Amino acid sequence: MTFEMIGQLIGGIGLFLLGMQLMTAGLKQAAGRSLKQALEAATRSRLRGLLSGTLITAAVQSSSAVTVATLGFVNAGLLTLGQSIAVIYGCNIGTTMTGWLVALIGFKIKISAFALPMIGVGIALRTMSKNGRLGHIGTAVAGFGLFFIGLDFLRASFDGLSENIPLESIGHGPLALAIFVAAGFLLTFLMQASAAVMAIALSLVHTGSITLSAAAALVIGANVGTTTTALIAAIGATPNAKRISAAHVIFNLLTGAVGLVFLMFLAGWLDQLDASRFDLVSLLALFHTLFNLTGVAMIWPLTDWMEKMLNNRFRSLEENESRPRYLDKNILTTPSLAVEAMNQELARVSRHCTRLSKEALSAETASRDKIEAEAQGIYQLVGKIAEFNQELARQNLIPEISETLPISLRVARYFSEMARISATLADYYPQFDTIQDEGLKKNLFEFKQAIIRLVDMAEIRENSSSQGYETHQLMREVKHIYQQLKSSLLEQAVKGRMDNAESMALLDAVSQLQRLAEQAEKASSHWSSTLPVHERGPLHKEQTQA
């Protein structure tokens, strides 16, 4: 193999991967919310999930992009684990589109006749509209051209390869097929792109460097090799990410094993096909498609069992409330999904704060150690949200999303302060017990009950888009009771019914209760501003006049 051939091979792979990357990035950006809307259709049934995964992956030419989007939908509660598994099945089918593109266009048409003009047109569109949809389409068009130019270099580098490196000498038996499977796995692991390995396999068949069965084994290895991407992405990820990655690994390993067994029986027949009569490149693309379709047909009845098994396998991590459940670094590259994940985590913190505040306000049942432990868990969650927020801010964000990030941090800070105040309320229980006046006791009880109602109302519930009007109104009532309670305490001190130190301690205690209510009300009023504008609830007429 000459130095020129090696250079063509490396350059061809590089151009192919660069073209794929530009094509995928451009199509993702041009699609905008269409990707989200298409995946939302998958929420209706598993069959729709399968079709959505197939069509979207075929359109954007990136199974990893669809997998990350699916993860975001699972974390946001829009997809069940079973539906997301169906989308993953579809992703595997959708990846076969690359093989068909190469087989039907790459080796049938003179590439320079259309690839170079596509690059020129794409760059022109990109220049005219850098950040608009037209510019993103231009990026995809230019990437499409580079994709085929890279393929042309690959094909040229393999011409005459059999004369320099006799790959057929490896043999045709089961051991030889296993070697090619291992080669496909290793190449996919190194390049993190099964499409590139598919292109190499198609090029080798086109130039006659390897047999059809050997190329099919290479494709099986590439399919199994995609599991390494899922495993790497699952390191330190959320429980849902680990479940989806595990489903991806189970599917690919099972279909790979079954595919290899069938290939061993069919290898002799495949290798006897006459290249002059049959289009071996198209047959390899067909094998790739049938291989994945067969895998889906086999594992589809096992989806319920897989979902139950994966839920049980990762349950312990979800029960650890101090761990983020929705934040995952893998979705940072899709900001709209990252914002949704962060809002889901904020809603979860809100539920923890509601429970903690109510426990702290109930002196009869509150446990100082338990409340402090729960508060520490909330501090940790808020810290993780802040870190995620900062990492998201480093991405290339549109103004609509960028404007929500400081508000999310503010809401997180309100929750952290609610936890801190709740953890300190136990210190004031002795002061409350010193109150002798029945009227003052009644006012204090009403004050606590009003705060509990407000904290309950302020809790961020599923699909909440309220702009806090109700809590704002209730906060007025809390402030009114607070002023009455403060006046009563001062009156008791002036009349000498309690000493100054006692009255100051009680004033400080009720002030902390008031501050707890304020933090809950502020979190509720700012919550909807953490959502994209199109998802915010309408302002009430009374609120717009306030």
Domain boundaries, the chain: 3-315, 319-531
Pairwise CA distance, residues 287 & 271, whole Å:
14
By mean pLDDT, which of 39-48, 50-59, 245-254, 350-359 is the weakest? 39-48
Q: Which of 438, 440, 459 is nearest to 448 (CA)?
A: 440
Question: Using CA atoms, how far apart are residues 483 and 489, in angstroms rounded to an integer?
Answer: 10
- What's the rounded Cα separation, in Å, for the pair 79 and 45? 10
Tell me what pLDDT residue 195 has: 75
The model's pTM: 0.59
- Say if CB 187 and CB 47 are below 8 A apart: no
pLDDT band at 388 (very low <50, low <70, confident <90, very high): very high
How many angstroms separate the CA atoms of 521 and 473, rounded? Answer: 10
pLDDT of residue 543: 35
Contact between residue 102 and residue 20 where contact means Cβ atoms under 8 Å apart: no
Q: What is the pLDDT of residue 58?
A: 78
Q: Are 206 and 274 in contact (CB under 8 A)?
A: no
- pLDDT tens digits, one per residue of 440-476: 888 888 888 889 999 988 888 755 555 567 888 888 8
Q: What percent of the chain has pLDDT over 70?
A: 75
Indicate whether 239 pLDDT > 80.
no
Decide which of 536 and 546 is more confident: 536
Q: How confident is the model at residue 365 (pLDDT cuts 50, 70, 90)?
A: low
Burial class (CB in 10 A: 0-12, 13-18, 19+), 541: exposed
pLDDT in tens, 250-285: 888 888 888 888 888 888 888 788 777 778 888 888
Mean pLDDT along residues 172-190 = 83
pLDDT of residue 44: 67
Q: What is the mean pLDDT of residues 202-212?
A: 81
What average pLDDT score do residues 417-424 get? 90
What span, in angstroms and rounded, lies between the C-alpha atoms of 371 and 35?
43
pLDDT of residue 386: 93
Do residues 486 and 510 touch, judged by C-beta distance below 8 A?
yes
The alpha-carbon radius of gyration of the chain (Å, integer) is: 31
CB contact at 8 A, 23 and 144:
yes
Is pLDDT at 545 greater than 80 in this prediction? no
